[in-house]
Amino acid sequence: MAAPWMLTGPYTVFDLETTGMSPVHNRIIEIGAVRIEHDGSMTTFQTLIHPETTISNQISRLTGITNEMVANAPTFGEMGQEFLDFIAGSKLVAHNARFDLAFFMESLGRTPGLPLWEGGAYDTLMLARKAYPGLPSYSLKNLRHALQLGEMVEGTAHRALYDAEITMELFQMIMQRLHDYGETRLSTRI
Protein backbone atom coordinates (compact mmCIF):
# COMPACT_ATOMS: atom_id res chain seq x y z
CA MET A 1 0.00 0.00 0.00
CA ALA A 2 1.29 3.43 -0.92
CA ALA A 3 2.07 5.98 1.77
CA PRO A 4 -0.20 9.07 1.76
CA TRP A 5 2.64 11.38 0.67
CA MET A 6 3.14 9.32 -2.49
CA LEU A 7 -0.20 10.58 -3.76
CA THR A 8 1.39 14.02 -4.22
CA GLY A 9 3.89 12.54 -6.70
CA PRO A 10 5.11 10.94 -8.79
CA TYR A 11 8.63 11.87 -7.76
CA THR A 12 11.95 11.26 -9.50
CA VAL A 13 15.03 11.36 -7.31
CA PHE A 14 18.14 11.92 -9.40
CA ASP A 15 21.87 12.34 -9.00
CA LEU A 16 24.58 13.42 -11.40
CA GLU A 17 28.30 12.79 -11.51
CA THR A 18 30.26 15.50 -13.29
CA THR A 19 33.74 16.43 -14.48
CA GLY A 20 33.91 19.27 -11.93
CA MET A 21 31.92 21.83 -9.96
CA SER A 22 31.00 24.39 -12.67
CA PRO A 23 27.86 23.73 -14.73
CA VAL A 24 29.17 26.14 -17.37
CA HIS A 25 32.68 24.72 -17.74
CA ASN A 26 32.23 21.07 -16.67
CA ARG A 27 30.01 18.29 -17.98
CA ILE A 28 27.79 15.45 -16.76
CA ILE A 29 29.39 11.99 -16.86
CA GLU A 30 26.63 9.91 -15.25
CA ILE A 31 22.92 10.15 -14.47
CA GLY A 32 21.16 7.92 -11.96
CA ALA A 33 17.49 8.23 -11.04
CA VAL A 34 14.74 6.46 -9.15
CA ARG A 35 11.12 7.24 -9.99
CA ILE A 36 8.40 6.48 -7.46
CA GLU A 37 4.81 6.37 -8.65
CA HIS A 38 1.60 7.11 -6.72
CA ASP A 39 1.22 3.42 -5.90
CA GLY A 40 4.78 3.13 -4.50
CA SER A 41 6.20 1.25 -7.49
CA MET A 42 9.70 2.30 -8.51
CA THR A 43 11.73 2.28 -11.71
CA THR A 44 15.36 3.23 -12.20
CA PHE A 45 17.37 5.02 -14.85
CA GLN A 46 21.16 4.93 -15.15
CA THR A 47 23.57 5.87 -17.89
CA LEU A 48 27.15 6.92 -18.28
CA ILE A 49 27.57 9.98 -20.49
CA HIS A 50 30.46 10.88 -22.75
CA PRO A 51 31.33 14.42 -21.58
CA GLU A 52 33.08 15.34 -24.85
CA THR A 53 36.05 16.35 -22.71
CA THR A 54 38.60 14.54 -20.55
CA ILE A 55 37.78 13.29 -17.05
CA SER A 56 40.58 14.29 -14.67
CA ASN A 57 42.39 11.74 -12.51
CA GLN A 58 40.95 13.48 -9.43
CA ILE A 59 37.36 13.02 -10.65
CA SER A 60 38.10 9.42 -11.67
CA ARG A 61 39.44 8.69 -8.17
CA LEU A 62 36.36 10.31 -6.59
CA THR A 63 33.69 8.73 -8.81
CA GLY A 64 35.38 5.60 -10.12
CA ILE A 65 34.39 6.74 -13.62
CA THR A 66 37.25 6.74 -16.10
CA ASN A 67 37.70 8.07 -19.63
CA GLU A 68 37.70 4.45 -20.85
CA MET A 69 34.31 3.83 -19.23
CA VAL A 70 32.66 6.73 -21.06
CA ALA A 71 34.49 6.29 -24.38
CA ASN A 72 31.51 4.57 -26.04
CA ALA A 73 28.78 6.14 -23.89
CA PRO A 74 26.18 8.45 -25.45
CA THR A 75 26.59 12.21 -25.16
CA PHE A 76 23.99 14.21 -23.25
CA GLY A 77 22.63 15.40 -26.59
CA GLU A 78 22.08 11.78 -27.63
CA MET A 79 20.28 10.68 -24.48
CA GLY A 80 18.82 13.86 -22.94
CA GLN A 81 15.37 13.25 -24.43
CA GLU A 82 15.35 9.72 -22.99
CA PHE A 83 15.91 11.15 -19.50
CA LEU A 84 13.26 13.84 -20.06
CA ASP A 85 10.83 11.06 -21.04
CA PHE A 86 11.72 9.15 -17.84
CA ILE A 87 11.04 12.14 -15.57
CA ALA A 88 7.98 13.45 -17.49
CA GLY A 89 5.05 14.25 -15.24
CA SER A 90 7.06 13.83 -12.04
CA LYS A 91 8.54 16.16 -9.46
CA LEU A 92 12.34 16.13 -9.31
CA VAL A 93 14.19 15.55 -6.04
CA ALA A 94 17.94 15.74 -5.39
CA HIS A 95 20.35 16.14 -2.49
CA ASN A 96 21.88 19.61 -2.80
CA ALA A 97 19.46 20.11 -5.68
CA ARG A 98 20.91 23.44 -6.84
CA PHE A 99 24.07 21.61 -8.00
CA ASP A 100 22.34 18.83 -9.93
CA LEU A 101 19.60 21.07 -11.31
CA ALA A 102 22.16 23.63 -12.53
CA PHE A 103 24.09 20.96 -14.46
CA PHE A 104 20.88 19.48 -15.86
CA MET A 105 19.55 22.86 -16.99
CA GLU A 106 22.90 23.90 -18.48
CA SER A 107 23.08 20.62 -20.42
CA LEU A 108 19.51 21.03 -21.68
CA GLY A 109 20.23 24.63 -22.67
CA ARG A 110 23.25 23.73 -24.78
CA THR A 111 21.43 20.87 -26.57
CA PRO A 112 19.42 22.04 -29.60
CA GLY A 113 15.87 20.74 -29.64
CA LEU A 114 15.62 19.91 -25.94
CA PRO A 115 13.32 21.99 -23.75
CA LEU A 116 14.39 23.37 -20.38
CA TRP A 117 12.97 21.68 -17.29
CA GLU A 118 10.38 24.02 -15.82
CA GLY A 119 9.45 22.04 -12.72
CA GLY A 120 12.29 22.92 -10.34
CA ALA A 121 13.32 20.34 -7.75
CA TYR A 122 12.89 19.50 -4.09
CA ASP A 123 16.11 19.50 -2.08
CA THR A 124 16.55 16.69 0.47
CA LEU A 125 19.37 18.67 2.07
CA MET A 126 16.92 21.41 3.10
CA LEU A 127 14.14 18.92 3.84
CA ALA A 128 16.46 16.86 6.09
CA ARG A 129 17.27 20.00 8.11
CA LYS A 130 13.54 20.48 8.64
CA ALA A 131 12.74 16.84 9.45
CA TYR A 132 15.89 16.07 11.48
CA PRO A 133 17.02 19.29 13.15
CA GLY A 134 20.26 19.40 15.11
CA LEU A 135 22.35 16.87 13.20
CA PRO A 136 26.03 17.81 12.97
CA SER A 137 26.11 17.46 9.17
CA TYR A 138 23.58 17.08 6.37
CA SER A 139 25.93 15.71 3.73
CA LEU A 140 24.52 12.60 2.07
CA LYS A 141 27.39 10.54 3.48
CA ASN A 142 26.72 11.68 7.04
CA LEU A 143 22.95 11.32 6.71
CA ARG A 144 23.48 7.79 5.38
CA HIS A 145 25.39 6.93 8.55
CA ALA A 146 23.18 8.88 10.99
CA LEU A 147 19.91 7.48 9.62
CA GLN A 148 21.30 4.06 8.65
CA LEU A 149 20.35 4.36 4.99
CA GLY A 150 21.17 1.64 2.48
CA GLU A 151 24.17 -0.62 2.41
CA MET A 152 27.63 0.54 1.50
CA VAL A 153 28.98 -1.59 -1.28
CA GLU A 154 32.62 -1.13 -2.29
CA GLY A 155 32.94 1.33 -5.15
CA THR A 156 29.37 2.62 -5.04
CA ALA A 157 29.85 5.98 -3.29
CA HIS A 158 29.81 8.84 -5.77
CA ARG A 159 28.08 6.74 -8.38
CA ALA A 160 24.87 8.33 -9.57
CA LEU A 161 22.37 5.48 -9.21
CA TYR A 162 23.64 4.47 -5.75
CA ASP A 163 23.43 8.08 -4.53
CA ALA A 164 19.95 8.43 -6.09
CA GLU A 165 18.81 5.25 -4.29
CA ILE A 166 20.18 6.52 -0.96
CA THR A 167 18.54 9.90 -1.58
CA MET A 168 15.23 8.16 -2.40
CA GLU A 169 15.43 6.27 0.89
CA LEU A 170 16.18 9.55 2.68
CA PHE A 171 13.31 11.29 0.87
CA GLN A 172 10.88 8.53 1.90
CA MET A 173 11.96 8.85 5.56
CA ILE A 174 11.66 12.64 5.45
CA MET A 175 8.25 12.59 3.79
CA GLN A 176 6.90 10.02 6.24
CA ARG A 177 8.29 12.00 9.20
CA LEU A 178 6.87 15.30 7.93
CA HIS A 179 3.54 13.61 7.22
CA ASP A 180 3.51 12.20 10.76
CA TYR A 181 4.12 15.74 12.05
CA GLY A 182 1.16 17.01 10.05
CA GLU A 183 3.25 18.70 7.36
CA THR A 184 1.35 18.12 4.15
CA ARG A 185 2.95 20.72 1.87
CA LEU A 186 6.57 20.98 0.83
CA SER A 187 7.81 24.55 0.69
CA THR A 188 11.47 23.92 -0.06
CA ARG A 189 11.36 23.61 -3.83
CA ILE A 190 14.02 25.38 -5.86
Please give the positions annotated as active site: 158
DSSP H or E segment with residue 34:
strand 28-36
Residues 6+ apart with CB under 8 A from 87: 12, 14, 33, 35, 117
- Dihedral angle sign, alpha carbons of residues 91, 32, 81, 57: positive
Q: Is it true that the peptide bond before 23 is cis, omega within 30 degrees of 0?
A: no
